[in-house]
């Protein structure tokens, strides 16, 4: 829950969520072996190398809690991290990278889709997008699949440090246009950078709004 105080006007001022502890719990390839589904959970998905693991490290202010690599295909398991002892962040394998062997990339799909469809405590999923590329078919297909399944999600544009402010705005605009074909409304959208740390507080504040007050 975001740390908040009542200001003099009686309004609640919400300050950035305080991450006190972040602990690795378990890695597995079988969604059935995830920890008990008794705490709110948020997952990170997107193409290999888009920055999922780096974003988790940014959120928890730890360099190597989630393992990162400049070589795509680093994360190949479902990884649970327990935050403040009361909710989970989940680092998922990437999808759709040509250099990953065909058999392996096909093996990921059911692992990921089963996890996303069956995980009962999953509050929302952050779909990470590289704003330097034109909208990619595989991302559009994944987003549309989430919609068909009725699974809630937000979009996070990563590596924002690699683009000028104008180029980033243009990229987000072109994604909005692309998704307007299938979607009446655009989901919540964030821009982040693990390098200059932008977007961290916005994302944590958003998570805080989705957590029960006790978490």
CB contact at 8 A, 135 and 174: yes
Q: How far is the CB of 49 from ligand GTP (least distance, A)?
A: 5
Ranked by CB distance to ligand GTP, the top (closest) residue is 94
79 binds, among Mg ion, ligand GTP, none (CB under 5 to 8 A by kind): none
Contact between 48 and Mg ion by CB under 5 A: the answer reads no
Q: Torsion over CA of 63, 68, 69 and 75, rounded to 10 degrees?
A: 170
Which residues are CB-neighbours of 135 under 8 A, at least 6 positions away?
174, 175, 178
What is the distance between the alpha carbons of residues 104 and 182, in angstroms, rounded to a whole number?
Answer: 30
CB contact at 8 A, 66 and 75: yes
What is the distance between the alpha carbons of residues 192 and 209, in angstroms, rounded to a whole number?
Answer: 18
* Residue selected from 2, 42, 68, 179 as contacting ligand GTP according to rule CB under 6 A: 68
* Residue selected from 22, 41, 44, 53 as contacting Mg ion according to rule CB under 5 A: 53
The interface mask with ligand GTP, positions 162-181, x = CB under 6 A, is x-------------------
Contact between 74 and ligand GTP by CB under 6 A: the answer reads yes
If you count them, how many residues does the chain have?
215
Q: CB-wise, 4 or 72, nearer to ligand GTP?
A: 72
Q: Which residues bind ligand GTP (CB under 6 A)?
A: 48-54, 68-70, 72-75, 93-94, 158-159, 161-162, 193-195
């Amino acid at each position: 829950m975001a740390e908040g105080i009542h200001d003099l006007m009686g309004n609640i001022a919400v300050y950035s969520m305080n991450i006190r502890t972040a602990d690795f719990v378990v890695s597995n390839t079988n969604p059935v072996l995830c920890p008990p589904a008794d705490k709110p959970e948020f997952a990170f998905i997107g193409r290999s190398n888009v920055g999922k693991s780096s974003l988790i490290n940014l959120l928890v202010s730890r360099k190597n809690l989630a393992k990162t690599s400049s070589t795509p295909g680093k994360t190949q398991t479902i990884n649970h991290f327990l935050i403040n002892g009361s909710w989970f962040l989940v680092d998922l394998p990437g999808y759709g990278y040509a250099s990953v062997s065909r058999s392996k990339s096909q093996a990921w799909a059911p692992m990921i889709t089963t996890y996303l469809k069956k995980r009962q405590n999953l509050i929302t999923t952050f779909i990470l997008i590289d704003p330097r590329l034109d909208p990619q078919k595989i991302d559009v297909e994944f987003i549309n699949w989430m919609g068909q399944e009725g699974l809630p999600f937000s979009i996070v544009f990563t590596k924002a440090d690699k683009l000028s402010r104008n180029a980033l705005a243009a990229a987000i605009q072109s994604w909005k246009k692309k998704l307007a074909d299938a979607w009446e409304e655009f989901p919540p959208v964030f821009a982040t950078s693990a390098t200059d740390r932008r977007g961290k507080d916005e994302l944590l504040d958003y998570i805080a709004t989705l957590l029960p007050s006790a978490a």
